[in-house]
Amino acid sequence: MSTENTAQVATVKKDITTQVLAKIDAFQSNGELKLPQDYNVENALKSAYIILSNPKDNLLAKCAPASVAEALLKMVVYGVSPIKKQCYFIPYGDKLECSISYAGNVAIAKRYGKLKSIKGNAVFEGDTFEFEVDNVTGRRKVIKHVQTLDSIGTGKIKGAYAVVELNDGTIDTEVMSINQIQQSWNQGGSKGNSPAHKNFADQMAIKTVINRACKLLISSSDDSVLYDPLEEDEKHDKAAEDVKHEIKTKANKKELDFDEAEVIDEEIVNTIENVLNSDLAQTEAPF
């Protein structure tokens, strides 16, 4: 691709963020979309553009314009920020997807699920760990958890838990055994065999149990937010390993003709309207 065409593609792609912002502004003006007060759309879109236009991956030039618009829209609707690692942009062939990270799930749970704080811990072989289930409320409670340097040093994980505190003072605990955690990992592309899983299994286990607790809070709230069927952190783990390979072998190699700019706006409009008018989007908006 010539230098001139490359510049033209960058201009066309940059217009996508501008057009998405304009369409979001229009939806807000018409009362069709309400965004969180603590969320700055312009900053999120600018940071997204910086990430997507990074020459290292050059996702803007390799992904279809409509999928870029859809990924940016999902980012805005969920109210997450890529610069804070609350979401990641992942290419699947020439299609760009916005994947919500576990940090994004925590942010959404605090915003919509009445979450005040959440803290996760791994349980190692050699730990003393006891928990109980309240017969009335059904909530779990950790009775005792004693760790030693020796038990932590084994690296052998028996499970993980996350203590959840809600704004009203309610405290609950999500507990997962290592078998449950591994079953969750098996849903991802790496099947729990990524370098992160092998080298930092305790941290990955904590992420998994926190993810589970946050998703339950959000999905059970009145302002529920939608999720993809796969664990988002698992999707990201796989993508982090394969993103370079995906771009090199599967990304769209067709040059984008500058004349295509004339139809990009229509594609974005259709994409946004399809998302907002889909059956899933017809549930009560998470704002």
In the prediction, which pLDDT does 57 show?
Answer: 82
Average confidence score pLDDT of the chain: 77
pLDDT at 176 over 70: yes
Span 74-127, pLDDT tens digits: 899 889 999 999 999 999 889 999 999 989 999 999 988 899 999 999 999 999
pLDDT at 207 over 60: yes
pLDDT at 11 over 60: no
In the prediction, which pLDDT does 276 show?
Answer: 45
Calculate mean pLDDT across residues 163-169.
95
Integer-rounded Cα radius of gyration of the chain: 21
Span 239-258, pLDDT tens digits: 555 544 444 454 444 433 32
Rounded CA gap, 231 and 124, in Å? 23
Task: Locate the DSSP E strands across the chain.
Answer: 87-92, 95-100, 115-124, 128-133, 140-146, 157-166, 171-177
pLDDT at 265 over 60: no
Span 62-74, pLDDT tens digits: 899 889 989 998 8
In the prediction, which pLDDT does 162 show?
Answer: 97
